[in-house]
Amino acid sequence: MGEVITRVVAIDPAVPDCTAIVEAASIIQAGALVAFPTETVYGLGADGLNPIALGRIYVVKGRPPDNPLILHIASPDQLPLMAAHIPTIAHRLVQAFWPGPLTLILPKTSSVPDLATAGLTTVAVRMPAHPVALALINAAKTPLAAPSANRSGLPSPTTAQHVFDDLRGRIPLILDAGPTRVGLESTVLDVTCIPPVILRPGGITREAIEAVVGHVQEAASVAQRRRSPGTRYRHYSPRARVVLVEDAQAETLQAAIAKALQHGKRVGCLLHRLEPNHLPPSIQVTRIGGSVADYAQGLFSALRALDGLELDVIVVEGVQEQGLGVAVMDRLRRAASPPRPSSGFTE
């Protein structure tokens, strides 16, 4: 892969500048890649119908070839191009949650290249709620395949700087519309089965989905997880070891910190609600207060920032597993899981 010069172009998130969008669209149409903002995280966009462009995504990210991509569209009208069959339940979900952080798994049409789906017979589709993303899809006149714009294995990027840190020299253009609103990725919901199955918890909660379509299942079994290949891999992991305080108790947190210090480790700590009494002065403390949505929004950015401090261990406060807390805990557990020998890769 030859080095390219990566330009970062600022763009108004509410009223995207036409010139920047036209330039980005022509890069996409030429089969190259552009990083762009969505409401969840930054995406690494390519023409979703061009196999050569799709191949570049895997190379640039260092992504395992068995991990399929999400196709991004600018209107539900574009769904029939990609989905061979759209169950009633999917129509209702589209009405309720698009544009927004919900990805639907549907049976694919022959227009969708195998490289977009990693050979599966289903395709992942979503309509993002970001004016820049929508303008780019419209100008490129094609669905955009876009994984999160991080190097495989690192936390997803929520700012243009994160994308630049990971992909500098590998892509020609990053559209910078500031930090993303949701901060973690879309919910991936398989609607090819009844009841639908949440393959990846994300920005739309299970409770919200169930309010629209009734009972949905969580992908608990290995067999189900296999249907969303990305969830098999270790993800979102900083280089430092992440220790997750599952019970979100101050005593547990303090014990984890003390243990790491006893072993001579350099320790950082990410707090949400806890206010532990005696934290040793030597440790780096970051706090994201507020609601669980605020924690979700700042999480990846905080992990990246802490990881920039050359720490050995980052002790992270957990949250209750309800609402958006399910997605937060999913990402934190994966960040905290030890690398497996043969699959240190991720989305």
| 146 is a site residue for ligand TXA (CB under 6 A) | yes
CA distance 113 to 329: 33
CA dihedral 13, 14, 20, 26 (to 10 degrees): 90
| 105 is a site residue for ligand TXA (CB under 6 A) | yes
| 38 is a site residue for ligand TXA (CB under 6 A) | yes
| In the complex, minimum distance from the CB of residue 337 to ligand TXA, in angstroms, rounded to a whole number | 15
| In the complex, minimum distance from the CB of residue 110 to ligand TXA, in angstroms, rounded to a whole number | 15
What the block records as the tokens of 183 is 């901060």
Q: 271-275 long-range contacts, Cβ below 8 Å, gap at least 24?
A: 271/317, 272/248, 272/317, 272/319, 273/248, 273/317, 274/248, 274/249, 274/250, 274/317, 275/250
| 103 is a site residue for ligand TXA (CB under 6 A) | yes
Q: Which of 13, 43, 113, 143 binds ligand TXA (CB under 6 A)?
A: 43
| 186 is a site residue for Mg ion (CB under 5 A) | no
Collapsing DSSP states into helix, strand and coil, what is residue 228?
coil
C-beta nearest to ligand TXA: residue: 230
- 94 contacts which partner out of ligand TXA, Mg ion, none, CB within 5 to 8 A by kind? none
Q: Which of 24, 27, 40, 296 binds ligand TXA (CB under 6 A)?
A: 40
Question: Residue holding tokens 């949505």?
Answer: 293
Of residues 184, 179, 159, 18, the one with CA closest to residue 103? 184
Give the nearer residue to Mg ion in terms of CB position, either 166 or 347: 347
Stretch that binds Mg ion, among 99-107, 122-130, 147-155, 333-341 (CB under 5 A): 147-155
Give the nearer residue to ligand TXA in terms of CB position, either 245 or 327: 327
- How many residues touch ligand TXA (CB under 6 A)? 31
| 228 is a site residue for ligand TXA (CB under 6 A) | yes
Collapsing DSSP states into helix, strand and coil, what is residue 196?
coil
CA distance 50 to 28: 10
| Interactions with ligand TXA, residue window 229-248 (CB under 6 A) | 229-231
What is the H or E stretch that residue 89 is in?
helix 88-97
| Interactions with Mg ion, residue window 315-334 (CB under 5 A) | none
Amino acid identity at 22: V
CA distance 147 to 139: 19
| 148 is a site residue for Mg ion (CB under 5 A) | yes
| 186 is a site residue for ligand TXA (CB under 6 A) | yes
| Interactions with Mg ion, residue window 150-169 (CB under 5 A) | none
CA dihedral 133, 139, 143, 144 (to 10 degrees): -50
Residues of 44-61 as b/e, b for ≥16 C-beta within 10 angstroms?
bbbbbbbeebbebbbebb
Give the nearer residue to Mg ion in terms of CB position, either 166 or 176: 166
Amino acid identity at 272: H
Of residues 293, 245, 237, the one with CA closest to residue 101? 293
- 79 contacts which partner out of ligand TXA, Mg ion, none, CB within 5 to 8 A by kind? none
- How many residues touch Mg ion (CB under 5 A)? 2
Q: Which of 48, 99, 131, 147 binds ligand TXA (CB under 6 A)?
A: 147
- 45 contacts which partner out of ligand TXA, Mg ion, none, CB within 5 to 8 A by kind? none
Give the footprint of ligand TXA on this chain (CB under 6 A). 38, 40-41, 43, 67-70, 101, 103, 105, 117, 120, 122-124, 128, 146-148, 185-186, 188, 199-200, 227-231, 347
